[in-house]
């Protein structure tokens, strides 16, 4: 078991695309956990049932969608490539389109899981559409007629199993089963449609798209991701060496200018060889203006490919 778990973790850590897949799967599992822990209480009022139910079914998926967009690395890479100045490097719209498609597909996973879980569970659907059910076919199951309420208000109270008007009556359970069947039918139909759509897209895509062009687009999208990560890592290393040089230089100047010479730890004594080694790691850039010029050049004029 631990070996399998290790292999799964290695896969998700292998590249940014795998990491994005792992994050989206975790977000989908979180959406299921949120729904199962969510205490859904239908208002059982004709004017609020449908509004409240549709809000629970629609608002969380919207939040999960934008959260998926926010944590997806493809979002940043796509926006950087789309918004950057042209400079020495031409833009490839196919790469931006590929990154946008990958971002949307991953961001839609958690919202779709939430919607499917709500439909298969059926509670929200019962709350929303119990008022629309014709009670005539269920008249033989003990429909409460002596409550002084009209039919609409009675049907609006179907989701509330604790209501006293349904005591010693199977009417509520019969209507709930009826509406839940519709809810699950819609859920399974959507799931089947998505599976068939994905399978057809997978099968028919080679017929309408040049595979060589697709490989080029995928390669350069991965290149942009790797290039940005390497640039960020190089900047972090340069900033660390730059900061170390400034701090050590400060202590060296203090030691040279002070009258009272106290013993100093060896880690702040910088020999000529150490300075030369650090200058190599700083690529000759040891001034703020030089670094700002370099960063502007990277943004406005990336090297030609």
Based on the fold, state whether residues 45 and 99 are members of the same structural domain. Answer: yes
Structure tokens at 289: 């203006």
Based on the fold, state whether residues 245 and 157 are members of the same structural domain. Answer: no
Based on the fold, state whether residues 167 and 278 are members of the same structural domain. Answer: no
Q: Is residue 265 part of a domain?
A: no
| Helix, coil or strand: residue 117 | helix
Q: Is residue 92 part of a domain?
A: yes
Domain range enclosing 245: 227-256+271-301
Write the pLDDT tens digit of every residue in 138-152. Answer: 766 656 665 556 788
DSSP secondary-structure letter at 46? T
DSSP class per residue in 152-215: HHHHHTTT-TT-GGGTT-SHHHHHHHHHHHHHHHHHHHHHHHHHHHHHHHHHHHHHHS-HHHHH
High-pLDDT (> 90) share of the chain, %: 21
- Separation between Cα atoms, residue 23 and residue 243, nearest integer Å: 34
Query: What's the average model confidence in pLDDT over 97-104?
Result: 90
Based on the fold, state whether residues 64 and 100 are members of the same structural domain. Answer: yes
What pLDDT sits at residue 119?
A: 93
**More reliable by pLDDT, 188 or 22:** 188
- Confidence class for position 9, pLDDT limits 50, 70, 90: low
Based on the fold, state whether residues 32 and 154 are members of the same structural domain. Answer: yes
Domains contained in the chain, number? 2
Based on the fold, state whether residues 106 and 242 are members of the same structural domain. Answer: no
Based on the fold, state whether residues 98 and 191 are members of the same structural domain. Answer: yes
pTM here is: 0.77
Q: Is residue 142 part of a domain?
A: yes
pLDDT at 270 over 50: no
- Separation between Cα atoms, residue 251 and residue 249, nearest integer Å: 5
Based on the fold, state whether residues 279 and 135 are members of the same structural domain. Answer: no
Q: Is residue 88 part of a domain?
A: yes
Query: What's the average model confidence in pLDDT over 6-34?
Result: 70
Instruction: Kindly give, in sequence order, each residue whose CB lies less than 8 Å from that of residue 286, ignoring residues fewer than 6 positions away.
Output: 242, 245, 279
Q: Is residue 222 part of a domain?
A: no
Q: Which helix (H) or strand (E) is 69 found in, with range?
A: helix 49-71
Write the pLDDT tens digit of every residue in 171-181. Answer: 888 889 999 99
What pLDDT sits at residue 62?
A: 94
Q: Is residue 219 part of a domain?
A: no
Write the pLDDT tens digit of every residue in 39-49. Answer: 888 898 888 99
pLDDT at 190 over 50: yes
Query: What's the average model confidence in pLDDT over 65-92?
Result: 86
Based on the fold, state whether residues 43 and 192 are members of the same structural domain. Answer: yes
pLDDT, mean over the chain: 81
Q: Is residue 234 part of a domain?
A: yes
Half-sphere exposure at residue 51, Cβ-oriented, CA atoms within 13 angstroms? 5
What pLDDT sits at residue 262?
A: 47
Based on the fold, state whether residues 137 and 243 are members of the same structural domain. Answer: no
- Confidence class for position 268, pLDDT limits 50, 70, 90: very low
Based on the fold, state whether residues 178 and 78 are members of the same structural domain. Answer: yes
pLDDT at 8 over 70: no
What pLDDT sits at residue 279?
A: 60
Based on the fold, state whether residues 98 and 195 are members of the same structural domain. Answer: yes
pLDDT at 297 over 50: yes
pLDDT at 189 over 90: yes
């Amino acid at each position: 078991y631990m070996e399998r778990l290790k292999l799964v973790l290695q896969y998700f850590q292998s590249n940014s695309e795998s990491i994005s897949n792992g994050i989206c799967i975790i977000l989908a599992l979180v959406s299921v956990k949120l729904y199962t822990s969510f205490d859904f209480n239908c208002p059982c009022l004709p004017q609020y049932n449908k509004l409240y139910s549709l809000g629970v079914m629609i608002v969380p998926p919207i939040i999960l969608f934008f959260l998926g967009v926010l944590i997806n690395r493809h979002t940043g890479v796509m926006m950087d490539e789309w918004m950057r100045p042209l400079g020495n490097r031409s833009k490839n719209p196919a790469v931006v389109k590929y990154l946008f498609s990958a971002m949307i597909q991953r961001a839609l996973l958690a919202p779709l899981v939430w919607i499917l879980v709500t439909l298969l569970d059926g509670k929200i659907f019962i709350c929303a559409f119990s008022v629309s059910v014709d009670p005539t076919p269920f008249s033989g199951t003990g429909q409460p007629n002596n409550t002084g309420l009209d039919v609409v208000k009675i049907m609006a109270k179907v989701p509330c199993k604790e209501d006293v008007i349904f005591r010693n009556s199977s009417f509520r359970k019969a209507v709930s089963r009826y509406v839940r069947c519709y809810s699950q039918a819609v859920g399974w139909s959507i799931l089947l449609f998505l599976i068939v759509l994905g399978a057809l897209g997978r099968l028919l895509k080679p017929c309408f798209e040049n595979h060589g062009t697709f490989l080029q687009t995928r390669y350069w999208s991965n290149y942009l991701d790797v290039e940005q990560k390497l640039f960020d890592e190089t900047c972090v290393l340069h900033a660390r060496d730059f900061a170390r040089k400034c701090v050590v230089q400060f202590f060296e100047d203090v030691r040279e200018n002070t009258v009272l010479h106290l013993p100093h730890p060896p880690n702040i004594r910088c020999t000529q060889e150490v300075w030369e080694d650090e200058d190599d790691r700083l690529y000759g850039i040891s001034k703020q203006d030089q670094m700002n010029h370099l960063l502007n050049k990277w943004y406005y004029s990336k090297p030609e490919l």
